[in-house]
Structure 1
Amino acid sequence: MNIDYSKRNFGLDVLRATASLFVLFGHTLWIGDNYPNFLETIFRITPTIGVEIFFVLSGFLIGMLVLKEIEKPSFSFKNIKKFLIRRWFRTLPNYYLVLSINILVWYVIFNKIPEKLYQYFFFIQNVSERTNSYFYRISWTLSVEQFSYLLGPLLLYFLILIAPAKKRSQLFLWVTLLIILIFNLSRLYFYLNETLTDLEDWNETIRKVLIYRLDAIYYGFLLYYLYKKYKNQIAKYSLGLFWVGLSLLLFLYIFRGFFGLTIETVQGFMILLFLPINSIGLCLLFPQLLKLKTTSNSIRKTITTLSIISYPVYLLHYTVILQCLKVIFPSESLVGFQLWAYTFLYWGITFLLSYLLYRFFEKPATNLRDNPRIKRFLKID
């Protein structure tokens, strides 16, 4: 794999690799219930953290691209079109390929077509309610991503049409704060009108539902705006911000229970505050991590490779690879050496197939967006 390290930020690669590993490790629990207790505890919290890292990281990077586009003097709808098409070349081919594989796997295992299958093709499977299906479970995050690509850029485009003289970066900030406010209010509406029974109910009814989650991406937008505008000041305090952010995350995931902050005792905290604090805590980690460097070529190569294949890992690991493995080799009763052999086999297959998917499908598909014929056909020159 030929990698131009000069064009990559090692800290962002660390974040992306960590997020994919956290999600993979968390879903490893589906293999069975016989892991050591301390590992089981860690595995239970890592997928949530991993997904939220992906959201903030995606928002940071997409926010950077969007702000650059709208600040161009020649900005028009063509810029929005170009941005969306380039994102879709990056995300949709993999998604639809793995969706097709999931459909085939589901049919072979259960001898039926998944319910409401059409929703997965349009990313509307979790717009206002849980998916109610174990089919392609991780796809809910892709819905959040795809709708975030549309919402902010289109709002900015219309605002620029209405107020062309306004400073573009200021409009970017206003739209970002407006979206964060709206989706925090959506959770407030839920809190005033609904009741949750337990953490699983919160997880499926709040955390994985689109109308309560789009703000997760826009904390990344806000982070990029602040980082760009106050880079020197933020860099000065980056280490302190890192420790504050880490403390917030430790409180949410490790120590929250000691204070009795659970769904059963304080629904308001879990519905209204947990997710925003989580996003803010992650944002506070970024300035220090963006400064990360390494002199070890082997570490850099490993981290960068894991970062590059993170999207295939995310798409393949759960409802394709692990589901097939469990059908072929049931794992619930495994203990000791057999359990760990199965675990490492699962991880190894995931990394291998993810690399192959990236190398022979994702990368060629993404490269098509720079093909002159494609650009002319789509009018995105």
Structure 2
Amino acid sequence: MIPDLPQQQKIFGLDAMRVLAILLVLSAHCLWIFEGHKSLFTKIVSFSGFMGVEIFFVLSGYLIGGSLYRIFTDSGFDYQKVRRFLKRRSLRIMPSYLLILCVNLVVAFLIGLSVDEPWKYFLFLQNFAHPMLPFFPESWSMSIKEIPYFIIPFGLLVVAAVFRGIDRGKLFFIFIFMLYLSAIGNKIWFHVEHSDTMSMHDWNISLRSVFVFRYDAVLTGVLFFWLRSRFRNIWANYKWHFAILGILLFGSMAFITGVAKLSLANYPFFWNVCLLPLLSLASAMSLPFFSEWTSASVILDKPVTFLGNISYSIYLIHYSLVLWLMKQFFPTANLSVPMLFGYMIIYLSITIGLSWLLYSYYEKPILKWRMRLTKYGQG
């Protein structure tokens, strides 16, 4: 969730984009506190949370895709550079993920919750090609974000060795675009194989949350970095145009699915093949605007930087370790609306507080250690 860049190279807009994404996800999960209170507003918030995860995917693809593009187009691209990239990426993501995974396993053991095939979570395989396992449910997005960063660099090593003499920038695009098309092909296969009407719950855990059907979301971000590298003037000069088109596309998807009632039962091809790539595209079209927003006033910069720094920790702990446990020990079914708002404030306060502790005393020291390794050529 924090870009793979040194602190001095951070771009305010990308932090703002990250903060927007985590706030959308948090808002959507807050609806669980108010379950039973349905309205147009709750539908909008729920769909926005849906969008928040897509923003995370394309932003992650954009940032790490940029790192891969730079090392791939360098004349010295080889296994050692791939190894260094993977080492840096692993040191960024794995320590906090493994810590929270282990804490979740301990909590599950203490409360008597059975966990099927826990080993899969250590390898991001809990939702590789089958419905997401019920334990640590928010980790589904981690698989979709992380597995491509092992597949892409080794794939690039192969294509660089096979297709010598071809412009590296064009070769990068062709390889990533072919991977993107393979994910779309997987969605089409899913649609053909699941011709029977599915419930939204089954669709959510069998398609939306499964890696082999979703890695195109991350690749969308990678492709947009390629567009930025090749068409820099268009990217900068038309940033508002892209942002407005993205908002219109997002609004159209919300209208089609929420107001016009284009249901999964009646339009399965749209839901299975078209909806998710279009939402990823809508998210990615905001990248020119956010990536060109280099700085902001101190009043805005401080809270955005703070939330951006702890956003990864928030994502890891906000649901299973905070909200789910709160709901188990302090149910909300019989609470009044004012009490529900108080419950929500307590939930958000606990989540942000614990996330700050995790970032400050665990994640941040590891990041500093990683930067020292890179500085002295050990990364």
RMSD, aligned CA: 2.0
Deviations 1:312-357 (A, max 9, x none): 0000000001122223322222222210010011001111111110
Answer with 307-316 or 31-40: which moved more: 31-40
1:34 touches 1:334 (CA, 8 Å); kept in 2?
no
| Corresponding letter in the other structure for 1:8 | K
**Which residue matches 2:85?**
83
Structural mapping, 1:1-381, within 5 Å: 6-35=8-37, 37-109=39-111, 111-133=112-134, 135-195=135-195, 196-292=197-293, 295-372=296-373, 380-381=378-379
Q: How many Å apart are 1:5 and its aligned residue? A: 7.2
Alpha-carbon distance in 1 for matches of 2:306, 2:78: 36
Alpha-carbon distance in 1 for matches of 2:334, 2:252: 34
The normalised TM-score by structure 1 is 0.93
Q: Is there any run of 5+ residues in structure 1 with no aligned partner, and where?
A: none
Answer with 58-67 or 158-167: which moved more: 158-167
Q: How many Å apart are 1:22 and its aligned residue? A: 0.9
1:322 touches 1:346 (CA, 8 Å); kept in 2?
yes
1:183 touches 1:215 (CA, 8 Å); kept in 2?
yes
| Corresponding letter in the other structure for 1:93 | P
| Corresponding letter in the other structure for 1:177 | F
SS at match of 2:137: coil
Q: How many Å apart are 1:295 and its aligned residue? A: 4.5
Alpha-carbon distance in 2 for matches of 1:67, 1:40: 40
Deviations 1:133-172 (A, max 9, x none): 1x10011111111211011111111111122322211111
Q: Is there any run of 5+ residues in structure 2 with no aligned partner, and where?
A: 1-5
Q: How many Å apart are 1:70 and its aligned residue? A: 1.2
1:32 touches 1:333 (CA, 8 Å); kept in 2?
no
- Aligned-residue sequence identity (percent) comes to 30
Deviations 1:40-98 (A, max 9, x none): 22331122111100000000001100011112222210011000110010000010100
Q: How many Å apart are 1:251 and its aligned residue? A: 1.2
Q: How many Å apart are 1:113 and its aligned residue? A: 3.9
**How many residues are matched?**
373
Alpha-carbon distance in 1 for matches of 2:8, 2:57: 25
| Corresponding letter in the other structure for 1:281 | A
Answer with 90-99 or 36-45: which moved more: 36-45
Alpha-carbon distance in 2 for matches of 1:203, 1:375: 43
Alpha-carbon distance in 1 for matches of 2:274, 2:315: 27
Deviations 1:111-146 (A, max 9, x none): 14411111111111111111241x100111111112
Deviations 1:250-309 (A, max 9, x none): 111234344442201110111111011111111111112223366431211101111111
The normalised TM-score by structure 2 is 0.93
Alpha-carbon distance in 1 for matches of 2:78, 2:335: 59
1:25 touches 1:43 (CA, 8 Å); kept in 2?
yes
Alpha-carbon distance in 1 for matches of 2:252, 2:269: 17
Answer with 324-333 or 168-177: which moved more: 324-333
Alpha-carbon distance in 1 for matches of 2:165, 2:48: 45
